[in-house]
Amino acid sequence: MKKKGVVILCAAVAAAAAVGLLCWRFLGNRNGGKGDNVVYVNTVEKLMSLGSGNGMMNRFAGVVESQETWSVQQNQEKTVKEILVSVGQEVTAGTPLFTYDTEKFQSDLSQAQLDLERINNEISSMNSAIADLEKEKKKADANSQATYTLQIQEQQLQVRQKEFDAQSKQLEIDKLIENINNATVTSEIDGVVKSINNDNSAVSYGNGDNSFMTIMKTGDLRIKGTINEQNMGSLIEGSQVIVHSRVNDEATWKGTVTKIDRENTVNNQNNMYYGGSSDASANSSSYPFYVDLETSEGLMMGQHVYLEMDYGQSEVKEKEGVWLDSYLIDMTGEEPFVWADNGKGRLEKRKVTLGDMDEVLGQYEITEGLAKEDAITWPEEGLEEGMETTISKDGMMGQSNPEPADGEDTDGGATDDGAVIGGEDGTSGGEVIGGEDGMSGGDDMPTEGGAAAGDGGDEQPGSGEMEDAK
């Protein structure tokens, strides 16, 4: 019973989050600019995925990396002559990574050796001069002794200076020889080349540091995710997360957020944005966070993944047939209906027959009138049969340019919280709303009895609180 209660609670939280995010997305996108009014629709199949781990749960982009990395810094006094490895290549300790150009070192060494030889010759000449002065001093009378002593001391001081110059020049020669002998840099660990940054190009598995080259150590893996500053409050250290494969919907892993690095930002120059929040997110920063996995079996170094909070949604069993959230069904008339695409790009009222109701998730079974491949939108004022429809590609639903009621604020007073798809792989830095198939929201969403979708009036959680967005 306890486990069942937890599952029900998690399912309710996930459903409420989806509803709240739908409202937010719709309000945030209703900016009402001038132009033709079309109705955005989404397939029933996509709408049924909300909260199942494939829909509107907040998602963050991530990349698989090693628990330990080794960074190689380029000596700024040297020029890289040749890179001997490529990104993704496996290396072992001692594998040559790149070589420095030694031509200048060879030239400087030859000159330094000539300078040292000249200094040694000067020292030898000075010592001979001192010896001659010593001999002359012995033969000189008492009145000349002081003069010879002063000349000898001056020569000895010059010798000590030359000896210091010789020592400095020898150190310079030793360093040049070391640079020539160590022109090839080798790996200190077994691992995989994560990134290479040179003057001509910068390639890597993800947003790495400014090191010339980074090697990921072979062994235990972790996930490096990216979160936008506007969504920072939705993630805390210690949170349980689910990791999704990008290529296999059935492949998932579980882990724990161990660190959110608020000190270092992530380069988002390749960010892509969906919906009306792109401008806000384009000017915001993103930060890395790290997830330790329960198991990394099946993951590959450098593999790109999605992450979402683990609310227990994976334990909610998928229901057979067609099930719709109640707010998608218009029950204001004698018979329930949905606003659906008629298959010819036009809107129609589609009568549906209701079956069982899932009171936990607020969903009705549709026994007749609708198939998973049909496309629908939610009920809202202003919809009429025959209006032009289009399948949404970015998750938007409802009218593109609805006619506002007198005195109505077309954006509902909502403030975008920066929902974003983007980052080093085009999907980091914020939340993925419905993945590529994410849904966006609408106006008040009626359920049976006219109540707003949710849990009876409690505040509905969404992808980001409005207070944070302001």
The domain ranges of the chain are 2-56+317-414+433-454, 103-181
Please state, in angstroms and as integers, the Cα–Cα distance from residue 448 to each residue in 47, 99, 135, 242, 452, following that order.
19, 72, 121, 33, 9
Give the tokens for residue 118.
């000249």
- Asked if 39 and 398 count as a contact pair (C-beta separation under 8 A), the reply is yes
Hey, is 96 helix, strand or coil?
strand
Please state, in angstroms and as integers, the Cα–Cα distance from residue 208 to each residue in 203, 226, 424, 427, 446, following that order.
10, 12, 10, 16, 47
Per-residue pLDDT of the chain (470 residues; tens, 9 = 90+): 444 554 455 555 555 555 554 544 444 444 444 458 899 999 998 887 654 444 445 678 899 988 878 889 888 888 899 999 999 899 999 999 999 999 999 999 999 999 999 999 999 999 999 999 999 888 888 888 889 899 999 999 999 999 999 999 999 999 999 989 989 999 998 888 988 987 644 444 444 457 899 988 877 889 999 998 877 877 889 999 999 998 887 899 999 999 998 888 876 543 333 333 444 445 678 899 999 999 888 998 889 999 988 876 666 566 788 999 899 999 998 999 999 999 999 999 999 999 999 887 788 999 999 999 999 998 998 999 999 999 987 667 888 887 765 544 444 333 333 333 333 443 333 333 333 343 333 344 333 333 333 343 444 333 333 334 33
The one-letter amino acid at 402: P
Q: Which residues of 413-445 are buried (b: 16+ CB within 10 A; e: fewer)?
A: ebbbbbbbbbbbbebbbbbbbbbebbbbbbbeb
Q: Under CATH, which architecture does the 2-56+317-414+433-454 domain have? A: Beta Barrel (2.40)
- pTM as predicted: 0.40
Note the pLDDT of residue 263. 85
Q: Is 54 exposed, middle or buried (0-12, 13-18, 19+ CB in 10 A)?
A: buried
- Asked if 375 and 41 count as a contact pair (C-beta separation under 8 A), the reply is yes
The residues pairing with 388 across neighbouring beta strands, listed in sequence order, are: 346
Give the tokens for residue 290.
């790290």
Q: State the Cα–Cα distance between residues 253 and 244, nearest whole angstrom.
A: 7
The pairing of strands 375-377 and 363-368 is unpaired
- Asked if 54 and 250 count as a contact pair (C-beta separation under 8 A), the reply is no
- Asked if 126 and 216 count as a contact pair (C-beta separation under 8 A), the reply is no
